[in-house]
C-alpha cells in the first residue's frame, strides 16, 4: 500500500503494456492541469508592466474578434 504523497504529481497507469494510451492520457492531463504553461511562463522573468501590456493586448484582440464574429458578411447588407 502506497503512502499518500502530495508531491507525486500527475499519475497515469500503464495497463496491458499499452504505452501509447498511457502517453495520450498523460498529455491530456498535462494540458488540463496547465502546469506546462506555468513552467514556460516562469522560465523568464516578466516585468509587471510588460505583463499588464500583454494581457491588455490579448483582451483587446479577443474583443475585436468577438466584434468581427457578430458582424454580418459584407455582401448581405
- Answer yes or no: is pLDDT of 77 > 60: no
Contacts of 54 (CB under 8 A, 6+ apart): 46
pLDDT digit string, tens, across residues 41-63: 999 999 999 999 999 999 999 99
Q: What is the pLDDT of residue 61?
A: 97
- The mean pLDDT of the chain is 87
- Answer yes or no: is pLDDT of 6 > 80: no
- Give percent above pLDDT 90 in the chain: 56
Q: What is the DSSP string of 24-47?
A: HHHHHHHHHHTHHHHHHHTSS---
Kindly report whether the global pTM for this prediction surpasses the value 0.85: no
In the chain, domain spans: 19-72
Amino acid at each position: 500500500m502506497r503512502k499518500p504523497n502530495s508531491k507525486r504529481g500527475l499519475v497515469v497507469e500503464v495497463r496491458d503494456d499499452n504505452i501509447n494510451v498511457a502517453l495520450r492520457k498523460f498529455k491530456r492531463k498535462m494540458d488540463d492541469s496547465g502546469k506546462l504553461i506555468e513552467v514556460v511562463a516562469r522560465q523568464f522573468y516578466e516585468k509587471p508592466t510588460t505583463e499588464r501590456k500583454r494581457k491588455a493586448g490579448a483582451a483587446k484582440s479577443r474583443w475585436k474578434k468577438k466584434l468581427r464574429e457578430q458582424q454580418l458578411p459584407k455582401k448581405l447588407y
